[in-house]
Structure 1
Amino acid sequence: MASSAIYHARSISLPSRPHPVAEQLDEQLSRLRSSQSTSTSSSSVSNALNGLKDLYSSVDEFLQLPLNQQNLSQTQSTTLVDHVLDGSLRLLDICSASRDALQLSRERLQDVQSALRRRCSGELSITSEAIEYLNARRSVKKAMKKCLKNLKLANEIKDEANVSVTLLKDVQAVTADTFQSLVSYISGSRKSGWSVVAKLITKNNNKEVATSSEFEAVDATLNSFICQKKSGITSSQIENLRSQMLKLETEIQDVDEALECLFRNLIKTRATLLNIFSY
């Protein structure tokens, strides 16, 4: 990144060179950019979130350097300061909303799992729990659609001569791109630009349901079960649903743990920025 050459640790006897923290940030940003893909698998999303966690740890080190604090605190543009702070707040809100969506999905998923266990004891219907789960998923998708709109706004810091602000802009842009994949994963949809495109391809009852995430697989299977209520559900279909839900529950746990760590880093970064800009 061209901007890294401007972050210098001055020395009387040695030529100026990029500060190690700035070099580390450049490397992490490049690595995150190169690893970004259209995949909405839980593993790729979790890996990207863990990469962001490490990135924000380096951002915190960068913001603790006196020269960078001075550079930011002397920013003359009130609009620019507002853009930086507003962007950090929007990213925090999206992170929080994503965790809430995962929690709601997990709770309704566990309700369906409980209904399946009761079914083995003689209670045959899981329809009401399936409907509650799908209603919750519709609420989740609405929340994620709102997150996508906020992602656009969080990524709207204009180009600036202030090199510290430029770095923060790059960090927020990479974060927004990663959150786009996160939102698409939670929605159970394929990532497509700034929109979530839901393409459930449900074939005949006895055939495979083509999906892009485990969320989508469970959504599609439960929809199919509701449609099949009168014709009955086979034991193999029940076992397939159990397997899908178990996998999804594990995925939700992994993604939520990564989000929890990142959330703490985002809070810390915002607190540091508020302190710097209040000087």
Structure 2
Amino acid sequence: MKTLRFSFAACLLALAVGLGGSAVATAQRLSLTQQFAGSTVLLTSGDTLQGPLALHRTEDVILITLPDNTVSTLSAVAVQSFAVKGQKDDRRNGYDDFYDSRSGYYYGNPYYSAPPRERRERVDTSLVRVFRTFRWNHDNDYSDFKSPGFFEQLSGGPNILLRRESLVQRTASYNDPLYRGGYGGYGNPYGGPRQMGSYNEIKDVFYLGMPSGNVLPLRNPKKDLLAIYRQQAKQIEQYAKGNKLSFTDARELAFIVNYANSLQKEAK
């Protein structure tokens, strides 16, 4: 199994900011692995396991180191859910995780009058992240075949904002600000010729997990979310605009989904 640590993408954040929307993704999708110092895994059998965990996102496989130092390899079909904390990967590599304590959105308490606080500079290693297994069609709308996959839970319910992440390789064009000098040697600070280059970027794909167990893709998060919450769409738009929340930012979208859920509850 091929794995790539985040050190492989050491200039990810600077590149992602500098490139903006002008970068073009290549066809190559890379394997993404994240490692955590601690975890609790609930198996479909009802048993639980604890220990350091490696999450192979692309393959939907986890490797957990047990107290006797043996390693158990588990696919999504054997796992109901798991919680992890103490991520070992260096956030300076540009991985955009939740630097908030989750007190405002994960436990279902949406902001009504204030936006979520800004991200911290350093990762909170005590932060607990929850992953659940859902059966899905791997974004193939023309297939009825569904298999289990790991989705990170980003909001409360009953409709749950979910996320899958993947590592993709992108190629930058000559017109990108990246090549105007100063970014990791790609640009020429002395005004000489600029060279093409590639970089790795973590891609977020959002879904909505329904109480029925179905997973709805949010390919255009704003459009799709407002269509799902049709009766509350106007209030949701006003809430997002008033609090300057983006429908494409994972952390801010979680606030929006929690707020949408609260409106549905009030309507009942």
Q: TM-score range by the shorter chain?
A: under 0.3
Which has the greater radius of gyration? Answer: 1
In the superposition, the TM-score normalised over structure 2's length comes to: 0.21
Q: Which has the higher contact order (CA 8 A, sep 6+)?
A: 1
Structure with more helix by fraction: 1
Structure with more strand by fraction: 2
In the superposition, the TM-score normalised over structure 1's length comes to: 0.21
